[in-house]
Amino acid sequence: MIPQSFVEDLLMRVDIVDVVERYVPLKKAGANLVARCPFHQEKSPSFTVSPTKQFYHCFGCGAHGSAITFLMEHGGLGFVDAVRELAGTVGMTVPDEKPHAARDAHAGSGTQALYEALAQAAQYYRQSLKQSEAAIAYLKGRGLSGEVAARFGIGYAPNGWQSLAQVFPDYRAKVLEHCGLVIAGEQDKRYDRFRDRIMFPIQDRRGQIIGFGGRVLTQGEPKYLNSPETALFEKGRELYGLSQARQAIRAQGRVLVVEGYMDVVALAQHGIGYAVATLGTATTAIHAQTLLRQADEVLFCFDGDAAGRRAAWRALENTLAELADGKQVGFLFLPEADDPDTFVRREGREAFEAALREQVMPLSSFLIEELRGRRDLGSEEGRANFLALAKPLLEKIRAPGLRLMLRKRVADLTGLQADELSSLYGPAPTAPLRVAAPAPRAGRVAPSLARKLLQLLMFEPKLIAPCAGDGEVSPDSPLADLLSVCGRSGWCGGEAQTLKAVLEFLRDHPQISHAAPLVEHFRETGHGPLLYQIEQEVLQWGEDFAVKQEFQGALDQVGALLRHEKIDALRQKGLGALTLEERQMLQRLLREPGQAEKNQG
């Protein structure tokens, strides 16, 4: 695996403007450069590249990231290939750090060790496939070519209780449990999680393996077995096949969502390369957000039975809040006996794509049809129930055009006028602001202190360097104060936790002078969504923004907060109970700037 330190050094040396301009013509727009977004169709430019912060952001589709991310998204490269290509442009050599099983066995449960153990296991499964006539026969029987099997890294887990002991000399290493390869049973027994199964590696958006799905060769339960959730793998966030499908999705302008690994692979075998699958779980809001960033058209394909309709309805519910006008979401229901795998193998590519053209039901039609099927609109009571069912669904929709048309459709079906529906539902809410300005204006709520500090550090990360002092962080340094405040229970909520993570990262990487390494480091973490919002906000700031003065003002606020806490704590003890040293401290704190005026008031 590529060391994180190399990635950070690489991002400090490359210029994202040079990288993007190889593929997209940029025009100057103030301190930034803009273009029509290469990731979705648009008439006016909303794709912004910041030379000073070294990241890009599209205010239309939400695409964002560093120079590495751009090569991955635009070129369909995996993370390693994108790093190698970028490194070659600046004369850097990527360290060749191949996984070593012996090292993995003692590496603990750090994320790097997890990645490497999974990569080593994937390599073993691929080799095992070549040696299993039964597994090869199974895949050939499903119509798969060796080329497609190699593209998806398909392998085979042998039918042994401890086959992975051949790969990992220390089979008892905790890392094997932590990445889901080995199960620790009763009486300290250990055994492989996957046995006698076709193995499908699950990759993250960087192309790194984060888990596996295994399918039985014959009749057995469970038919599909997934890796457990780990520090790397969260089923509700990941989509199988996205890394392999990215180029086809961009070329077609659509993404097809199916339910199984074999569906994705079989469709790819027949030239339909823009399919992805959820991982044994219902479509989540995070899935929907990811899908709608990939393409303007998202199609869900489910079986036509009751279970398929329930899965489609869950996908609809979790997609409503992520919709935007200009995006299309639809549902294709196959005959009950079919899934995409069986359908495309029997009917072929042309028939499957004809079904996508002719039989897809738009999300709005599916929503109304389902609600109508649940209530009798022939009676007042039925129409009233229909209104009650529709209201919370329509409230989720933030796309103003679609929301308005669906409200009109609901009003027509129930015989109400628009103003009558508004009296029941309330006025249609306005779309939320996508971008916050750097400073509060009339009628706008100022950001929390933690968020303001995040904005300032994203704007100019090197602000933190003088705060740490030389060498180790002094207990009296501004950075120590910041970390202390971030640790306060309830202070600024989740924003404080993200600020703490960013401060610790910048403390440990004092050489960072722009935001790209921050963006890349936290992209796949729980802090990523908030930093994504911060990106949008700081892109609106002019480069002449008085960032140093603002940062010092924020530090003064933190210092004042800590002073007030110390003063309150000393006063609560009572003057008679204070030691001489504590009395002197209280007098000193009361004399500090801002305190005298407060005490007189």
Is residue 331 located within the same domain as residue 274? Answer: yes
Q: Are residues 575 and 454 in the same domain?
A: yes
State residue 171's pLDDT score.
93
Q: Are residues 314 and 401 in the same domain?
A: no
Confirm whether 598 is domain-assigned. Answer: no
443 belongs to a structural domain: no
Question: 443 with 433: CB under 8 angstroms?
Answer: no
The encoded tokens of residue 151 equal 């593209």
pLDDT bin (cut points 50, 70, 90) of residue 562 is confident
Neighbours of 445 (CB within 10 A): 7
Taking residues 89-111, what's their average pLDDT?
59
Q: Which of 226, 260, 291 is the last residue of a domain?
A: 226
pLDDT of residue 232: 86
Do residues 504 and 428 touch, judged by C-beta distance below 8 A?
no
Same domain, 150 and 167: yes
CATH number (domain holding residue 306): 3.40.1360.10
pLDDT digits (tens, 9 = 90+) for 457-478: 888 888 887 775 554 555 566 7
User: Distance of CA 319 to CAs 4, 274, 314, Å?
Assistant: 34, 19, 9
Query: Is pLDDT of 540 > 60?
Result: yes
Contacts of 171 (CB under 8 A, 6+ apart): 105, 162, 164, 165, 182, 190
How confident is the model at residue 429, as a pLDDT? 56
> pLDDT above 70 covers what percent of the chain?
86
Q: How many CB atoms lie within 10 A of CB 285?
A: 15
Residue 142 resides in a domain:
yes
Residues 76, 170 within the same domain: no
Q: List the alpha helices (DSSP H) in 539-579.
A: 547-573
Q: Which residue would you say has higher pLDDT here, 553 or 302?
A: 302
Q: What burial class does residue 380 get, using C-beta atoms within 10 Å of its C-beta: 0-12 exposed, 13-18 middle, 19+ buried?
A: exposed
What value does the mean pLDDT take over residues 43-49?
87
d(CA 111, CA 40) in angstroms, rounded, equals 33
Cα dist from 288 to 211, 238, 342, 595, whole Å: 21, 11, 26, 51
Q: Quick one: pLDDT band at residue 575, thresholds 50, 70, 90? A: low
**How far apart (Å, rounded) are the C-alpha atoms in residues 27 and 277?**
38
Which are the contacts of 61, defined by CB distance < 8 A and separation ≥ 6?
A: 37, 39, 40, 292, 293, 296
The CATH number linked to 126 is 3.90.980.10
Q: Out of 258-267, 343-352, 374-383, 528-537, which region has the weakest mean confidence (pLDDT)?
A: 528-537
Q: Specify the higher pLDDT residue, 192 or 558.
A: 192
Q: Are residues 345 and 292 in the same domain?
A: yes
Q: Which of 207, 203, 201 is nearest to 68 (CA)?
A: 207
Quick one: pLDDT band at residue 593, thresholds 50, 70, 90? low
- Beta bridge partners of residue 332, listed in sequence order: 301
CA pair distance 545, 538, nearest whole angstrom = 10
Confidence class of residue 592 from pLDDT cuts 50, 70 and 90? low
**Residues 475 and 530 placed together within one structural domain of the fold:** yes
Residues 346 and 386 reside in one and the same domain: no
- Whether 499 and 454 have beta carbons less than 8 Å apart is answered as yes
Please give, one letter per residue, the 3-state secondary structure of 211-265: EEEEEECCCCCCCEEECCCCCCCCCCCCCECHHHHHHHHHHHCEEEEECCHHHHH
**pLDDT tens sequence across 113-170:** 898 999 999 999 999 999 999 999 999 999 999 999 999 999 999 999 999 999 999 9
φ, ψ of residue 397 in degrees (nearest 5): -75, 125
Range of the domain at 45: 4-89
- CA separation, residue 516 to residues 12, 201, 434, 462, 492 (Å): 8, 29, 21, 12, 25
On whether residue 493 sits in a domain, the answer given is yes
The answer to whether the CB of 178 falls within 8 A of the CB of 145 is: no
The CATH number of the domain holding residue 53 is 3.90.580.10
pLDDT in tens, 204-216: 877 789 999 999 9
pLDDT for 103: 41
Q: Are residues 53 and 112 in the same domain?
A: no
Of 177, 190, 128, which Cα lies nearest the Cα of 156?
Answer: 128
As a whole number, mean pLDDT of residues 399-404 equals 90
Mean pLDDT of the chain: 83
Q: Categorize the per-residue pLDDT at 188 as very low, low, confident or very high, splitting at 50, 70 and 90.
A: confident
Place of tokens 């207990």: 475
Average the pLDDT over each of 76-85, 259-268, 489-498 and give the range with the smallest value. Answer: 489-498
Residue 385 inside a domain? The answer is yes
Q: What is the number of domains present in the chain?
A: 5
* pLDDT in the model for residue 523: 76
Tens digits of residue pLDDT in 408-425: 999 999 999 888 888 888
pLDDT in tens, 413-456: 999 988 888 888 887 654 433 333 334 333 445 678 888 888 88
Which pLDDT value is given to residue 246? 83
Residue 95 lies in a domain: no
Which tokens belong to 311? 């899965």
Q: Of 89, 115, 138, which closes a domain?
A: 89
Within-domain flag for 171: yes
Question: At residue 383, what are phi and psi to the nearest 5 degrees?
Answer: -65, -35
Least confident of 165-169, 353-357, 374-378, 401-405: 374-378
**Residue 389 belongs to domain with CATH number:** 1.20.50
Query: Is the same domain home to 513 and 564?
Result: yes
Are 487 and 519 members of one domain? Answer: yes
In the predicted structure, residue 64 carries a pLDDT above the cut 50: yes
Q: How many CB atoms lie within 10 A of CB 117?
A: 29
In this structure, are 454 and 579 located in the same domain? Answer: yes
**CB 269 within 8 Å of CB 145:** yes
Do residues 126 and 249 lie in contact, with contact meaning Cβ atoms separated by under 8 Å? no
| pLDDT of res. 580 | 75
Q: Is residue 131 part of a domain?
A: yes
